[in-house]
């Protein structure tokens, strides 16, 4: 091995360990950015949940287009009983934080297991059904995660 290759080997070994913390910190910052900020248009506005964006990563029981439409959840007893049941179900779910609660309304944040992507899920408990909206904060497609989540909640609510 010549002096140049010895020098290169020593330099590679020295810098390999030096940059690991910086790489780890950069990766941590990048991954923590997957949560994004909650949209400022969530909630009930004129008796309706916010419409879905054009992207396919959202479902809404008040949507009229097939891409975003999903059936509302059925009531389980009174509106108060249904809200209490939904709140209990959300409390049993991993990586779920209840972020807003009012009579007839719940909002929760669901985080994905791997990259901690956050989805906002809203429930408007009415006299005849529970309107629901589930939307990803970031990205375009969600591979039907939001639709499957609501269908799983529907099944658990009816048990």
pLDDT tens-place string over residues 81-103: 999 999 999 999 999 999 999 99
pLDDT band at 30 (very low <50, low <70, confident <90, very high): very low
The answer to whether the CB of 116 falls within 8 A of the CB of 27 is no
Instruction: Find out whether 110 and 118 touch, Cβ atoms under 8 Å.
Output: yes
For the segment 5-21, the average pLDDT, to the nearest whole number, is: 58
Q: What is the pLDDT of residue 13?
A: 67
Please, where are the H alpha helices in 42-143?
79-92
For the cut 80, the answer to whether the pLDDT of residue 7 exceeds it is: no
37-158: CATH homologous superfamily?
Answer: Kinase associated domain 1, KA1 (3.30.310.80)
Q: Determine the average pLDDT of the residues in 24-36.
A: 50
pLDDT greater than 70 at residue 17: no
Supply the pLDDT for residue 36: 82
21 has a pLDDT exceeding 60: no
């Amino acid at each position: 091995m010549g002096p140049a290759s010895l020098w290169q080997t020593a330099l590679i070994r020295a810098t390999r360990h030096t940059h690991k913390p910086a790489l780890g910190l950069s990766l941590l910052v990048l991954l923590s950015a997957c949560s994004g900020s909650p949209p400022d248009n969530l909630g009930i506005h004129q008796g309706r949940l916010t419409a879905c964006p054009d992207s396919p990563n959202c479902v809404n029981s008040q949507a009229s287009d097939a891409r975003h439409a999903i059936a509302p959840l059925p009531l389980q007893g009174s509106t108060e009983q249904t809200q209490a049941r939904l709140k209990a179900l959300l409390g049993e779910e991993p990586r779920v934080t209840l972020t807003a609660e009012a009579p007839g309304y719940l909002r929760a944040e669901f985080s994905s297991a791997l990259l901690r992507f956050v989805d906002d899920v809203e429930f408007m408990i009415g006299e005849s059904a529970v309107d629901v909206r589930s939307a990803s904060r970031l990205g375009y497609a969600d591979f039907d995660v939001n639709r499957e989540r609501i269908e799983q909640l529907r099944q658990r609510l009816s048990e």
